[in-house]
Amino acid sequence: NLSSWVTWPLVIVGGTGMRLSLGVKVKYLNSEDYRFRYFTQGKPGSRPSVLMLHGFSLNKNMWLNTIEIFPKDVHLVCVDLPGHGGTTRLLAESHTAVAQAKRIHQFVQCAGLNHKPFHLVGMSMGGMVAGVYAALYPAHVSSLALLCPAGKYLHQVSEEQIEKFMKICLYQPKWNETSPILLPFIGKGFLDLTSSESRYSLHDNMRKIKAPTQIIWGKEDKVFDSSGAEILAAAIPNSQVHWLEKCGHFITLERPRTSAKLLLEFYKSVCDSAEQKKVA
């Protein structure tokens, strides 16, 4: 049953308590047939806003450990992708990477993020969508960070194989399988994402990415081959690669501090470079 609930043996860090401690605000935005759920921290300012896209079957809360080290005055927006978390799930809709990128564009316009270029971050499926978005809407993206993004090395799977996907995501699985949590999940979404139409989307569009790009990958990633980092770096002119030792696919869970520090350093470097250009 494609609309069934699937039990993932995975602990999602953070939640209401952590959001409160960080001072982030949960909001809703209605656009056409979609109601987007997201949270924000800080307010738009002179520096680019930061839009963060989570991985498959996860939600915006996966970024809580990451944004903990970001300055409170940086405007952060973490959104539940369509089909995930508190954002609308429509079985009849396509969930390919291009379709998701277009829906994120819909969100960006309604949230007013398109008023000036923003910094776009995405992990896994979110990285794939972020890369495609940067290629389709280059004027909106000042810089880009991709954490082990899905790509052409993403193989189409059957519904029976989907649960196995999560069990190989971590270098050292630490979840408690006796206390699983339920995550709303549409099997069709994964099948759409891994279809031949979708899984080549980032590869086919990577040469169109013009924004300065940071690529972070766990060396022990068993989901997507880490050689993808070199393929992306070769195709994207202004890019840099960071490898994380003894780290699997879920970078923000296994290396929350290290990955957060890398993301923040890159963001600051791009902001500083933009300021220097203005002065010059």
Q: Which residues are catalytic?
A: 124, 221, 249
Cα 50 from chain centroid (whole Å): 12
Q: Which amino acid type is present at position 173?
A: P
CA distance 65 to 280: 37
CA distance 75 to 87: 21
CA distance 73 to 243: 29
Q: Which amino acid type is present at position 249?
A: H
Q: Which of 104, 133, 126 is nearest to 59 (CA)?
A: 126
| Structure-token match 């193989």, residue found | 155
Q: Using an 8 Å Cβ cutoff, are 147 and 52 in contact? A: no
CA distance 165 to 153: 14
CA distance 223 to 154: 8
Backbone region of residue 279 per phi and psi (left: phi > 0; alpha: psi in -120 to 50; beta: other values): alpha
